[in-house]
Amino acid sequence: MSAGLVVVGLGYVGLPLARQATEAGLTVVGVDIDPEVVAGLRAGRSRVRDITPAEISAMLAAGFTADTSFDAVATADTVVICVPTGLVDGEPDLRAVMSAGRAVASRLRPGSLVVLESTSYPGTTEEVLLPLLESTGLVAGVDFNLGYSPERIDPGNGEYVLANTPKVVSGLTPVCAKRCAAFYEDLVDSVVVAAGLREAEMAKLLENSYRLVNIALVNELAVFCDRVGVDVWDVLRCSATKPFGFQPFSPGPGVGGHCIPVDPRYLATRARAEGLPCSMITTAQEVNAGMPGYVVSRARGILSRARSGGSVFGARVLLLGVTYKANVADLRQSPAYGVVRQLRALGVEVSYHDPHASRFVVDGEPVPRASDVDHPADLVVLLQAHRDYDLARIADTARAVLDTRGRMDGENVERL
């Protein structure tokens, strides 16, 4: 069977794209090298929380197929690569992009459109993917079209999804850009054409570096405000009333997920290669990386005061919400890992409660899971304010609370 679209990588970026294209009437084949992912989709299951089993069933009924083979590329009009890009020893890891590029190249047919959506540094599409695709003898911009369109998926965001989030697109040549724009115009409400591939790649890194730096700013501000006796949450509330020139960000226990901890490192690595320090990003990363330790120091202070200045060894701490973001099941790069490590180093007995994480393992050692938020504890630390939590009740019943999200009030509550 011929495919109108092949989506390579069926994670939190690729699967929503496959769903949107299927709903638009395209014949879609999803490719993933993980047999369990493919088997699950064929059985109507999804590892992407924002897509329900009912939606997977509807996709299958509409003709969507999942496979570990890249054979469908040979008959596809469009191939979109949505594989993960991460870090190895703090440096960009493009092995998945290169592997996908080789597999697509081996089956690429003339007339196809190939689009990369994976986040990476400016120049990746031209310097890494393009040579792999042209190793076949086909010439980009002549025999096939090549584009880049950065993903803008925000897990757990029910307001802005793929369809109503403006899509930045680009191409190796003006014709490639036009072809790329035409493809996405059938799937989303608004398409923004970048001047070139590198501009589109850079736009994605700017978006997440902007968030990284501003989160670091308010995190540093929170530490300062606590030192001088200022309510940082009231400062933020007041500042947010300014209708121009200010966008509110909130402090917290650190940053997690894929985008904010990882993507700016791609920019910093490329900047260093060009002889530039990229010092603001480096500093912001250091500030955010220090927040789990700051949370632990505040927790230690609360516990020590409750023990009249005594040791916190053997104290019981319950962590509420260990995923990296509220109302999602993703544990990647969660600041909770650092909090657990440092509490354990103090001899504290740590447990957790999270309706989105059935298991939480830190350094090979599972963290005991509490059956409910009333689990016995000397201190409750709110790391993520999941909507499932009755925060007012927790504030009333817990012996002591450290609220890192500024959402709780009460005599026994101390906010970050």
Catalytic residue among 82, 176, 180, 259: 259
Q: Say which amino acid occupies 380.
A: V
CA atoms lying within 13 Å on the CB side of residue 79: 31
d(CA 381, CA 386) in angstroms, rounded, equals 13
Helix (H) or strand (E) holding 343: helix 335-345
First to last CA, the chain: 57
Distance of CA 170 to the CA centre of its chain: 23
Residues forming a β-bridge with 359: none
Alpha-helical (H) ranges within 188-278 are 197-228, 232-239, 259-273
Question: Does 259 qualify as catalytic in the annotation?
Answer: yes
Can you spell out the DSSP letters for 46-81? -S-TTS-HHHHHHHHHTT-EEES--GGGGG-SEEEE
SS3 assignment, position 202: helix
Cα angle: 224, vertex 227, 233; to 5 degrees: 60
Using a 10 angstrom Cβ sphere, with 0-12 exposed, 13-18 middle and 19 or more buried, the burial of residue 308 is: exposed
d(CA 149, CA 167) in angstroms, rounded, equals 7
Q: Which residues contact 197 (CB under 8 A, 6 or more apart)?
A: 125, 126, 146, 147, 148, 170, 171, 172
- Give phi and psi for 8, each to the nearest 5: -100, 115
Cβ(125)–Cβ(201) below 8 Å: yes
- Give phi and psi for 143, each to the nearest 5: -95, -25
- Residues marked active site are found at 259
